Structure 1
Amino acid sequence: MPKVIHFEFPAENPERAAAFYDHVFKWKAQKYGDMEYWLLTTGNEDEEGIDGAIAPKKDMITDSVINTVSVLSLDDSIKKVREAGGELMTEKMEIPGIGHHIYCRDTEGNVFGILESIKDPKGGL
């Protein structure tokens, strides 16, 4: 069964948000490549939970937190989203070294991501 493997927080100031989550939860932020995108490590790999990221609000598709679900086939999931009355928010995109990803909107207006990973889907992003 597909599981939530990643979350994204929108932030006016991602560096300030990273400092906030480090202070409150001791989550560690690391800038991802040349993008304005900070990966959040929320605990050790042997602990329960998922990791996430912080991105500038201006670059995100919504002002809300986005959860990403890992699937075995992105194309099958895209078909199911459409069949169920959902909407594709972006084109399918490649994330080098990670897999293929798309943002969708459900029938209630909630935005979520779907990822077909080239890595172990249980390991998160």
Structure 2
Amino acid sequence: MPRAVHFEIHATQPQALIDFYSSLFGWSFSKFHTGEYWMINTGPDSQPGINGGLLPRPGPIPGPTASPNAFVITIDVENLDASMAKAQGGGAVLCVPKMAIPKVGWLAYFKDPNGNIFGMMQMNSEAV
């Protein structure tokens, strides 16, 4: 069964949110090997939970302040191409086409039928 494996926080000011979440929850942040991306460690692997990432916001903050401005979650899938086709067949809209995350896997982002963004990733250490 596909499981949630990663979340992302989009930040207008990355360092400000790194400082905020480090102080609030004790999360640790480490720069990823590509671009402006920080990995978030939310706790020990021996405890339930998932880790995430933080990146510069790709556009303006969505909507008025009364509407949710949420984290993006990524689901681990066995076959990204098949899952992409199934998502689109169910009414999802492709937002970010399939792309390689070097040495990690293949990733794509969708909007579900209600407009919520989610990612799907097929792990593959040979992705380039």
**TM exceeding 0.5:** yes
Deviation at 1:66, TM superposition (A): 0.5
Match of 2:66 in 1: none
Instruction: Provide the rounded CA distance (Å) in 1 between the counterparts of 2:21 and 2:84.
Output: 33
State the aligned residue count: 118
Instruction: Provide the rounded CA distance (Å) in 1 between the counterparts of 2:37 and 2:19.
Output: 14
TM-score (normalised: structure 1): 0.87
Q: Secondary structure in 1 aligned to 2:58? A: helix
Task: List 4+ stretches of structure 1 deviating above 2 A.
Answer: none
Deviation at 1:34, TM superposition (A): 4.4
TM-score (normalised: structure 2): 0.85
Match of 1:2 in 2: 2
Aligned residue runs from structure 1 range 1-125, under 5 A: 1-58=1-58, 64-118=70-124
Report the RMSD for the aligned CA atoms in angstroms: 1.7
Structure 2 letter corresponding to 1:64: A
Identity fraction in percent: 34
Unaligned runs of 5+ in 1: 120-125
| Cα deviation 1:47-72 (Å, max 9, x = unaligned) | 11000111111369x75310000010
Structure 1 letter corresponding to 2:22: D
Instruction: Provide the rounded CA distance (Å) in 1 between the counterparts of 2:52 and 2:26.
Output: 13
The structure-2 alpha-carbon separation of the partners of 1:82 and 1:34, relative to structure 1 and needing over 3 Å to count, comes to closer
Relative contact order, CA 8 A, sep 6+: which one is greater? 1
Instruction: Provide the rounded CA distance (Å) in 2 between the counterparts of 1:64 and 1:43.
Output: 21
Deviation at 1:86, TM superposition (A): 0.8
Unaligned runs of 5+ in 2: 63-68
Query: Higher helix share goes to which structure?
Result: 1
